[in-house]
């Protein structure tokens, strides 16, 4: 008789244990590859469903799958989620007592444990490796595998040691997973982990449910408030560059009627951990944070990520915004930036200790991000192009698609701006040069005798703000450089010449005064008004259960699952099984309770017709 293929058995586990109907993207192929004991590298965007790719193979064979994961917080979350689905999973780390650790080791040795999560430094200790020698290991999954690359932004020394696993555990497949896409990181992973004849799976990096938008910074806090008005009582992350702005932004939000928590490296680690766990456990909190926050946060219902300052690169931006909307429901990535950010970031690069080559790379990365911020066609096309993924049609779900920007011929203004920079000696920042162009009568102008220049006062038709926009675009497009050896003064570049000579026409972007908010694209279902009460009650039940079990609410059920309950209105446990995200373990544990709530509302509803 023919054996059922890996895929059939895998599908059975997907449905039975996790409550999902079908595999997504390459999941089935990846699972097959692991089951055939071949090494693999998986590149998938955040929220793409990487974990299934090793969890299911580990469940399919005898023994234990070992998952290498960089963060303790991440392990705890994954383990609670697995346990809630009836999987025997555990982690091993220093937060546990010796006794707890001994119990985990016992389960591992006996072969009952399905999945074991460990950090690389722990895994590579000789005592751990010896323990694994004596156990039945069916795979190694190396999560966040980009940590092995010094090129990326999360380099971890310990990851380098993971190359030894291949030699020591021959025949045990290794699967490396990451959401970082660029070619260089990919090569580093393959080489440094010494994967054997690996199958490489690259999934589209598009996150269609995320709406991208970028605004020019005017009054960043007020702009944030208008943005948040669309996100009342939703969870989200607000990124700021400095600790100080984290503090002030979070105070500002709290005094404006939002519930916000700060998070940065300058806080006591207990306070940080406390705020992080509140953000995960409670609903509707805003985390205001530096980039110290976020790695390994897999809270599925983060509805927005806002950047109050420019990130360092497109990769960083993509990774940070990727924390929004992991559950697949509509989410926003929103950013404000201005010329000041450009000046500050490029100064940080110049002043860093890094060597010449490294600085050059950092500068190039910043330029690419700036170019992307100023695009005049679909943002998603440009974003995906950066990751080497062509996309033919405009997305319809970014600011540019929703409100196309207006451009204007700024050649003459650019010439004025460049010659004013030249005449003032290429040593002043934009503010002073604008004062000269607009003919300001102030102390600094008089001190340098700039009122006698031919460019003095020639630009009075344009407002200060419009001039700022001209200068920003000139810098971003490489017609002006910021000279950090000279107090951030602006200098002409090679490229400026063709503009000054009138050989080039320069189209500039009009700043929209009030950019119309993007129409909210709902990928899933729109909640009907009369169902909102029901949703509230389902959430309330979920909150109670989560509290009893000391896990975040989404470990019980995702929002999506609750929405699916409302859509399908199951009457029986058997029907409840069809709800997305309800597997056997959760069905028997929570099914009745949720049915009760659904039925109570059903009665209220039908009562209305009697």
Question: How would you classify the pairing of strands 489-492 and 331-337?
Answer: unpaired
| Residues 527-566: x where in contact with ligand ADP by CB under 6 A, - otherwise, as a string | -------------------------------x--------
Do residues 442 and 435 lie in contact, with contact meaning Cβ atoms separated by under 8 Å?
yes
Contact 307, 335 (CB under 8 A): yes
Q: Indicate which of Zn ion, ligand ADP, none lies near residue 395 (CB less than 5 to 8 Å, by partner kind).
A: Zn ion
Using CB under 6 A, which of the segments 20-28, 232-240, 304-312, 570-578 binds ligand ADP?
A: 20-28
267 token code pair: 């806080």
CB of residue 134 to ligand ADP, shortest distance in Å? 30
Nearer to ligand ADP, 52 or 434 (CB): 52
Residues 6+ apart with CB under 8 A from 487: 427, 429
Euclidean distance between the first and the last CA atom of the chain, given in angstroms as a whole number: 58
- Report the Cα 295 to chain-centroid distance in Å: 9
Q: Report angle CA 498, 504, 508 to the nearest 5 degrees.
A: 115
Which of ligand ADP, Zn ion, none interacts with 380 (beta carbon under 5 to 8 A by kind)?
A: Zn ion
**Is 378 one of the binding residues for Zn ion (CB under 5 A)?**
yes
Stretch that binds Zn ion, among 113-121, 124-132, 353-361, 401-409 (CB under 5 A): 401-409
Tell whether residue 44 is a contact of ligand ADP (CB under 6 A). Answer: yes
**Per CB under 6 A, 326 contacts ligand ADP:** yes
Binding pattern for the stretch 281-300 against ligand ADP, x by CB under 6 A and - elsewhere? -----------------x-x
Which region, judged by CB under 5 A, interacts with Zn ion, from 48-56, 376-384, 472-480, 580-588? 376-384
Token couple for 338: 């201005």
**What residue 49 binds from Zn ion, ligand ADP, none (CB within 5 to 8 A, per partner kind)?**
ligand ADP
Is 214 a residue that touches Zn ion (CB under 5 A)?
no
Q: Tell me how far apart the alpha carbons of residues 562 and 547 are, in angstroms, rounded to a whole number.
A: 17
Stretch touching Zn ion by CB under 5 A, among 8-16, 134-142, 386-394, 434-442: 386-394
- Choose among ligand ADP, Zn ion, none what residue 313 binds, the Cβ cut-off being 5 to 8 Å by kind: none
- Token output for 550: 């000391």
Q: Out of ligand ADP, Zn ion, none, which partner does residue 221 contact, by CB within 5 to 8 A per kind? A: none
Question: Total number of residues binding Zn ion (CB under 5 A)?
Answer: 6
Percent helix, percent strand, percent coil in the chain, to nearest 5 = 50, 15, 40
Q: How far is the CB of 243 from ligand ADP (least distance, A)?
A: 28
Burial 472-502 (b: 16+ CB within 10 A, else e): bbbbbbebbbbbeeeebbbebeeebeebeee
- Minimum CB distance to ligand ADP, residue 75 (Å): 13
**Distance separating alpha carbons of residues 253 and 428, to the nearest angstrom:** 35
Smallest distance from ligand ADP to CB 45, Å: 7
Q: Which is nearer to ligand ADP, 52 or 132 (CB)?
A: 52
Q: Which residue has the tokens 């009568």?
A: 441
Contact string (CB under 6 A) for ligand ADP, positions 46-75, x = contact? xxxxxxx-----------------------
Residue 445 as a binder of ligand ADP (CB under 6 A): the answer is no
Do the beta carbons of residue 400 and residue 380 sit within 8 Å? no
DSSP for 524-570 reads S-PPPGGGHHHHHHHHHHHHHHHHHHTS-HHHH--HHHHHHHHHH--
Interface size with ligand ADP, residues (CB under 6 A): 16
Please name every residue paired with 216 in a beta bridge, in sequence order, or none if there are none.
337
- Tell me which residue has its CB nearest to ligand ADP: 49
Identify which of residues 292 and 402 has a Cβ nearer to Zn ion in the complex: 402
Check residue 19 for interaction with ligand ADP (CB under 6 A). Answer: no
How far is 79 from 585, CA to CA, in rounded Å?
15
Q: Which residues bind ligand ADP (CB under 6 A)?
A: 20, 23-24, 27, 44, 46-52, 298, 300, 326, 558
Q: Which residues bind Zn ion (CB under 5 A)?
A: 378, 380, 394-395, 398, 401
């Amino acid at each position: 008789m023919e054996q059922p293929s890996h895929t059939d058995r895998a599908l059975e586990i997907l449905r039975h244990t996790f409550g999902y109907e079908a595999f997504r993207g390459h999941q089935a192929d990846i699972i097959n590859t692991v089951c055939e004991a071949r090494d693999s590298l998986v590149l998938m965007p955040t929220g793409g469903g990487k974990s299934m790719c090793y969890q299911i193979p580990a469940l399919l064979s005898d023994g234990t799958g070992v998952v290498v994961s960089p963060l303790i917080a991440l392990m705890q979350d994954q383990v609670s989620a697995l346990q809630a689905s009836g999987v025997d999973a555990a982690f091993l780390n220093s937060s546990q007592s010796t006794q707890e650790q001994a119990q985990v080791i016992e389960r591992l040795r006996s072969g009952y444990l399905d999945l074991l999560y460990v950090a690389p430094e722990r895994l590579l200790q000789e005592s751990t490796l010896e323990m694994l020698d004596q156990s039945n290991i069916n795979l190694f999954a190396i999560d966040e595998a980009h940590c092995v690359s010094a090129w990326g932004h999360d380099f971890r020394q310990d990851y380098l040691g993971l190359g030894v696993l291949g030699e020591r555990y021959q025949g045990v497949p290794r699967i490396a997973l990451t959401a970082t896409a660029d070619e260089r990181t990919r090569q580093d992973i393959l080489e440094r982990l010494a994967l054997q004849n690996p199958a490489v799976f690259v999934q589209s990096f598009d996150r269609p449910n995320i709406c991208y938008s970028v605004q020019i910074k005017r009054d960043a806090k007020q702009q944030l408030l208008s943005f948040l008005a669309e996100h009342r009582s939703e969870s989200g992350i607000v990124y700021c560059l400095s600790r100080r702005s984290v503090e002030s932004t979070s105070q500002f939000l709290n005094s404006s009627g939002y519930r916000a928590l700060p998070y940065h490296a300058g806080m006591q680690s207990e306070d940080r951990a406390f705020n992080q766990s509140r953000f995960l456990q409670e609903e509707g909190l805003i985390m205001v944070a530096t980039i110290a926050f976020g790695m390994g946060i897999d809270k599925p219902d983060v509805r927005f990520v806002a950047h109050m300052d420019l990130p360092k690169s497109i990769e960083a931006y993509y990774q940070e915004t990727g924390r929004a909307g992991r559950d697949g429901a509509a989410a926003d990535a929103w950013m404000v930036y201005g010329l000041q950010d450009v000046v500050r970031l490029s100064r940080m690069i110049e002043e860093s200790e890094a060597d010449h080559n490294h600085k050059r790379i950092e500068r190039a990365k910043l330029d690419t991000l700036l170019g992307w911020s100023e695009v005049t066609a679909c943002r998603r096309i440009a974003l995906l192009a950066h990751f080497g993924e062509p996309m033919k049609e405009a997305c319809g779900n970014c600011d540019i698609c929703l409100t196309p920007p207006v451009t204007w011929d700024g050649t003459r203004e650019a010439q004025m701006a460049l010659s004013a920079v030249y005449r003032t000696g290429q040593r002043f920042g934009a503010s002073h040069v604008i004062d000269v162009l607009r003919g300001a009568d102030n102390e600094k102008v008089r001190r340098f005798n700039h009122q006698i220049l031919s460019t003095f006062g020639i630009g009075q038709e344009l407002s200060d703000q419009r001039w700022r926009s001209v200068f920003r675009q000139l810098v971003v497009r490489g017609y002006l450089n910021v000279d950090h050896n000279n107090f951030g003064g602006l200098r002409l570049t090679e490229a400026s010449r063709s503009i000054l000579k009138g050989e080039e026409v320069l189209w500039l972007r009009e700043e929209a005064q009030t950019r119309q908010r993007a129409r909210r694209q709902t990928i899933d279902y729109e909640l009907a008004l009369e169902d909102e009460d029901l949703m509230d009650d389902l959430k309330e039940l979920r909150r109670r259960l989560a509290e009893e079990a000391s896990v975040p609410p989404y470990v019980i059920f995702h929002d999506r699952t609750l929405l699916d309950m409302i859509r399908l209105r199951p009457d029986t446990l058997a029907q409840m099984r069809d709800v997305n995200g309800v597997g056997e373990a959760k069905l028997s544990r929570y099914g009745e309770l949720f049915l009760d709530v659904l039925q109570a509302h059903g009665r209220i509803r039908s009562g209305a017709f009697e």
